[in-house]
Amino acid sequence: MSVQDQLHRYLFENVAVRGELVNVSQTWRDVVKDHDYAEPVKNLLGEMLVATSLLTATLKFDGDITVQLQGDGPLTLAVINGNNRQELRGVARVKEDATIAAGSSLKEMVGNGYLVITISPEKGERYQGVVGLEADTLAGCLEDYFMRSEQLLTRLFIRTSDKGAAGILLQVLPAQEQNPDEFNHLATLTETVKSEELIELPATDVLWRLYHQEEATVFDPVPVCFKCTCSFERCGEVLNTLPVEEVDEILAEDGKIDMHCDYCGSHYVYDAVDIAAMRNAPNAGSDQLH
């Protein structure tokens, strides 16, 4: 893991606004390295990694957030999952034989689509929010989401380049008296950050350059990394949800079943002995997928 891949939270002393700065450069490289994505798709996944990390940092409980784009364009799906430990993974799917040209915009890639944010606490009810892709950028769509779902002034500043990906989130504190002028002042300062500064400089340097005239407390950083949750056992649980006849047919034809993880590229191979052992396991047939 790169020392760059960290998330810093900070609070302004005299303004009811919180901030987060994250760099996900190595995490982004780990997510896309085993996939032949077009450049615009890679960049979008970088933006989504930044956004998901910033969103998971707002969680006050153990759990995860999934940020998903779906549409009828050449890019049918792009999804990033992150948890409260800042472990991220992601994947994109493009229509067969579709070409995504260099410089394609979000709407040109996704077409008529929507953004889905799913919050899944380890304890408690799952929550899902859906917004249309009315803004031109992912950051704009997420800002719309916060205004509609939580009525919280929020700004996201996301940057990607060939050096990496990073971003900043500013948000008014919930249940605090909101002063739009103070928030807009901080947003104006933040908007001046250059891509190379945000991606290549240490976070403390970036924060000092942006807010050295403001009083802010910066908390200890949290490491960010790529981590896939797949395993032989978990893929086996998925196999157990398939019709027995379908699994047996594949075994009869090929002698094995090769399960491939889209997130990390891992392969898990099951033969007839493995399948029999899974079917005889105490929790066989459970429909709970991980």
Q: Using N-to-C axis directions, what is the helix angle for 232-240 and 272-279, rounded to 10°?
A: 70
Instruction: Return the amino acid letter for 249.
Output: E
* Fold classified for 232-279: CBS domain Like (3.90.1280)
Q: Is 91 exposed, middle or buried (0-12, 13-18, 19+ CB in 10 A)?
A: buried
The tens-digit pLDDT sequence of the chain (290 residues) is 455 899 999 999 989 999 999 999 999 999 999 889 999 999 999 999 999 999 998 888 889 999 999 999 999 999 999 999 999 999 999 998 889 999 999 999 999 999 999 999 988 899 999 989 999 999 999 999 888 887 888 999 999 999 999 999 999 988 777 778 999 999 999 999 999 999 999 999 999 999 999 989 999 999 999 998 888 888 888 788 888 888 888 888 888 888 878 888 788 888 888 888 888 876 654 443 33
Cβ atoms 271, 258 nearer than 8 A = no
DSSP state of 103: T
Q: What confidence score (pLDDT) does residue 1 get?
A: 41
Q: What confidence score (pLDDT) does residue 283 get?
A: 61
Residue ranges per structural domain of the chain: 6-226, 232-279
Backbone phi, then psi, for 217, in 5-degree steps? -105, 125
Q: Which CATH superfamily is domain 6-226 in?
A: Hsp33 domain (3.55.30.10)
Which residues on neighbouring strands pair with residue 12, listed in sequence order? Answer: 216
Q: What confidence score (pLDDT) does residue 195 get?
A: 94
Assigned token pair, 131: 């917004």
Q: Is 111 exposed, middle or buried (0-12, 13-18, 19+ CB in 10 A)?
A: middle
Q: What confidence score (pLDDT) does residue 201 get?
A: 94
What is the distance between the alpha carbons of residues 156 and 198, in angstroms, rounded to a whole number?
A: 13
Q: What confidence score (pLDDT) does residue 282 get?
A: 66
Q: What confidence score (pLDDT) does residue 290 get?
A: 35
